[in-house]
Structure 1
Amino acid sequence: MNTISRFFWFCSGVHLATLEKHPTEHNKYVGIGATIFFTGLFAALSGGYAMYFVFKGDSGAVFFAVLFGLIWGLAIFNMDRYIVSSINKSASTTKQVWQATPRILLAIMIGIVISRPLELKIFDKEIKERLKVSYLNNQRSKIDTLNAAFGNKYKIELAKLGDLKTRRDTMANAIKSEEQKLNFEIFGNKTTETSGIMGYGPYAKRKETELSQRRQSLDTLSAEVRRLENFVDGRKQFDGLMAEKIYTSKELDSLANIAGFADRNWALGQLSFSPNGKPDLSTSMAITFIGLLFIFFECLPVFVKLMSSRGPYDRSVENVETSQIYESDKDKDFEVTVIDGVHNTRISTEIAKRKNKLNLPQQYEI
């Protein structure tokens, strides 16, 4: 426990020799150091996860993720350690708040950065489903755009093909009707257009001759339709329309699994809305509160340092710093006296003024 406590004291950025003299302050700085440590740990996990998606599919993805995660975690840890240790508890409350304001803003930015990749992992399943919908809609839109462009490019040929198909279908239906009438005439079925006499008579022969001519015309028309269809299909193949198709479920799963960080981040933002565009309040609130949780966790060390009262450790640190400042000023004044070769009366007067300004105890004499 002593080793763990000293480690967390180190994380909080305290002066260990001074803190050890004040047992009542130990637990406070253990808590502050633990908060800073776990913030750096979450930052490492977040950065490593983000980098894993950058290099996903590469053989060195895990290595780069671990390396970047460690570097990013240490950077955030060092920054948090500096932010907390740099707040001067000897200053007034207003001054402390002003000192902490830019640090809190920086902590908010860090909280946003480290929370995003972890949110991507938390909502991984929902993100994949939203990506599938997006990929499918984009593919449909792409196919529709290509078809529209192709229709404008070959407008005359497509119109001619449609007209020929209409004529072919009309002629084919007419031939079927005439064939039925011929059968009625041959088998003696009485209608308004048949004699009702069974046999292969003059009327049947004439009707068969007409049908033969119509079939030849239909064959010619069908050949023209096939020729024009081959031309259109060739143009579609050349323009890439034949290669485009709607994704299958297996293809959508594969695309969602290899989606990059940018696509997944976009999909996470879209989870706040349902597929029809209406706001999804429950999911939006869940994402927001997770982000706020990490932001609060990042700001927590600064808040703890601000809310804590000025304890004996802070007073000891202030005395040590004041003594060091005084010793530094005394050394500077001594150097000036030697170099200038001037009587030290004026120098001693300046030192006395500085002692009074710094409120130093009387035992610090020249």
Structure 2
Amino acid sequence: MRSNRHPSIKIERFMLKKFFIICSGSDTDILNDCSIGEQNKYAGIGATVFFTAVMAFIAASYALYTVFDNYFTAIAFGFVWGLLIFNLDRFIVSTIKKRNSIIDELIQASPRIILAVIIAVVISKPLELKIFEKEINQVLLEQKNDLTLANQNQIAQQFSPNIEGLKNEITILQNEINTKETEVNTLYDTYISEAEGTAGTKLLGKGPVYKEKRDKHDAALLELQQLKTDNKTKIAQIETQIAQLKTNYNTQVITTQPIIDGFDGLMARVNALGTLPWLPSFFIFLLFLAIETSPIFAKLLSPKGEYDFKLEDTETAVKTWVDQKVYERQVLLQTDRTLNNKIYNDIAEEDELYNYKRKKARELMQLQADAFFKHQKNAL
């Protein structure tokens, strides 16, 4: 059993190590000829690059899920984002070369460090949203409650003046009835007092004055009954209008409430996170910043290793070969120029060439003179 398991474990470890070395962006051909320790160093750098990309994938997927509310879309875009971060980190690490001066190395790495800080911010923020999700939900709940009350008050301002106006009309109609009832009650007391002889003529019995006051009361009573009938009809109509306005108010509140309930998007959560204490978020950012910049600082702080010397040897060999080729071409060009100048100077002193060119020049001038003469003759 052991003899079968150990080779497979070694193969898996070897393949994993090769994968992480590829993630580090190093030259695998050169690194294969280096020591195991040197290979392990770059495998560790590659593992950091890989797991940073995995964290970027998780963070982007969660952030995009809060936007699209769809698992497949969030995972697809998150995977693309993870590949982008992986490529950037791999590029950053692979382009840092060991120099003979620490100052030169810091100058070389400074743009990469700035880019690493930006990537750390982008990666850490969505994960902060997930880590502090409960606290953010509490903040969003309070904000939603405030928005709900504010929304209800704003909608109420659209309906309250009309409702108050209609209620005032009901009050006026009811006051008319009350006033008329008071008048009828007063007339009733008057004619009763007249009949009892306690007021008016103070004659006991139902005389002419009593009859007059009784008729006046009865007429007022009929007016009161008619007024009640008319005003109750008007009040019922007004109450119907008030009920319709309240229904419209409730409908608008119900219609707008889903907008408030959906107030939990990415921007709302980022703003809610900003209202929480900054120290925990800052520590999370520092963690991802350390993860993101660790491959860079690992290469900066580590001394020149076997891989660095071999890589420098390969690069300088190519550079030397290119410089030599360029120099040889320059020497060849300069030699060719010198020879050409000497050859043409020698030819310029030969009489045969001089006479030949003199003859051709004379023929050319004769042709030009003949052509000019023919043109002038045609013009005349």
Q: Shared fold (TM-score greater than 0.5)? A: yes
Provide the C-alpha distance between the structure 2 equivalents of 1:149 and 1:91, rounded to a whole number of angstroms: 76
| Separation (CA, whole Å) in 2 of partners of 1:32 and 1:174 | 97
> Does residue 16 in structure 1 map to residue 28 in structure 2?
yes
1:162 to 153, 161, 168: 168
Instruction: Assess, with a 3 A threshold, how the Cα gap between structure 1 residues 65 and 159 changes in structure 2: closer, same or farther.
Output: closer
The 3 A distance-change label for structure 1 pair 169 and 87 is farther
Q: For 1:315 and 1:128, how far apart are their aligned partners in 2?
A: 55
Whether 1:144 aligns to 2:140 is no
Q: Closer, same or farther in 2 for the Cα pair 1:25/1:234, shift >3 Å?
A: same
Report what 2:269 is aligned to.
264
Per-residue deviation, 1:96? 1.4
Q: Distance in 1 between matches of 2:77 and 2:118?
A: 19
2:52 — aligned with what? 39
TM-score (norm 2): 0.65
1:30 alignment partner in structure 2? 43
Question: 2: CA distance between counterparts of 1:78 and 1:168?
Answer: 81
Q: Is the 8 A contact 1:143 1:245 kept in 2?
A: yes
- In the alignment, is the contact (CA less than 8 A) between 1:161 and 1:225 conserved in 2? no
> Residue 139 of structure 2 contacts residue 272 of structure 2 at CA under 8 Å; is this kept in 1?
yes
1:161-187 C-alpha deviation (Å, 9 max, x unpaired)? 3263377389679979x99xx9xxxxx
AA aligned opposite 1:141: A
Give, in angstroms, the shift of residue 135 of structure 1.
Answer: 2.7
Report Cα offsets for 1:131-156 as digits up to 9, x if no partner: 3332332232122112224445x4xx
Give secondary structure in 2 for the equivalent of 1:241. helix
Q: Distance in 1 between matches of 2:302 and 2:176?
A: 92
Greater fraction of residues in helix: 2
- C-alpha separation in 1, matches of 2:99 and 2:315: 11
Given candidates 278, 290, 307, the residue that maps to 2:284 is: 290
When structure 1 is superposed on structure 2, of 22-31 and 332-341 the one drifting more is 332-341
Q: 1:188 is matched with which residue?
A: none
Question: Once the 2 structures are TM-superposed, how far is the Cα of residue 41 of structure 1 from its aligned partner?
Answer: 0.9
Q: What are the superposed Cα offsets for residues 37-68 of structure 1, whole Å, 9 maximum, x if unpaired?
A: 10011111222222333332xxxx33332322
Q: How many residues matched?
A: 299
Q: Partner of 2:6 in structure 1?
A: none
Q: Which one of the candidate residues 44, 54, 78 is aligned to 2:67?
A: 54
Q: Are the structure 2 counterparts of residues 333 and 172 from structure 1 closer, same or farther at C-alpha, using a change threshold of 3 Å?
A: same
Normalising by structure 1, we get a TM-score of 0.67
Q: Which residue of 2 aligns with 1:327?
A: 321
Per-residue CA distance 1:221-250 (angstroms, 9 max, x = gap): 44333333334455566xx52413379xxx
The match for 2:240 is 230
The Cα offsets for residues 287-329 of structure 1, whole Å up to 9 and x where unpaired, read as 3322332222212221222222222322222222111100111
Could you say if the C-alpha distance between residues 128 and 170 of structure 1 is closer, same or farther in structure 2, counting changes exceeding 3 Å?
A: farther
Paired residues of 1:132 and 1:252 also in contact (CA < 8 A): no
SS at match of 1:244: helix
Contact 2:156 2:249 in 1 (8 A): yes
User: What is the RMSD computed on CA atoms of the aligned residues?
Assistant: 4.0
Equivalences for residues 1-366 of structure 1 within 5 A: 1-20=13-32, 21-56=34-69, 61-151=70-160, 154=162, 158-159=164-165, 161-162=167-168, 164-165=170-171, 168=174, 217-234=227-244, 240-245=248-253, 255=261, 259-270=264-275, 272=276, 281=277, 284-339=278-333, 341-342=335-336
How far off its partner does 1:19 sit?
A: 2.5
- Tell me the distance in 2 between the aligned counterparts of 1:160 and 1:67: 58
Q: Aligned equivalents of 1:114 and 1:327: distance in 2?
A: 44
SS of the aligned residue for 1:83 comes to helix
Residue ranges of structure 2 left out of the alignment (5+ in a row)? 1-12, 189-209, 339-380
Give the residue type in structure 2 aligned to 1:14.
S
Runs of 4 or more, structure 1, over 6 Å off, are 169-176, 208-213, 251-254
Unaligned runs of 5+ in 1: 183-201, 273-280, 345-366
- TM-superposed CA distance for 1:260, in Å, is 3.2
- Rg larger in 1 or in 2? 2
Is the Cα–Cα contact under 8 Å of residues 139 and 246 in structure 1 kept in the other structure?
no
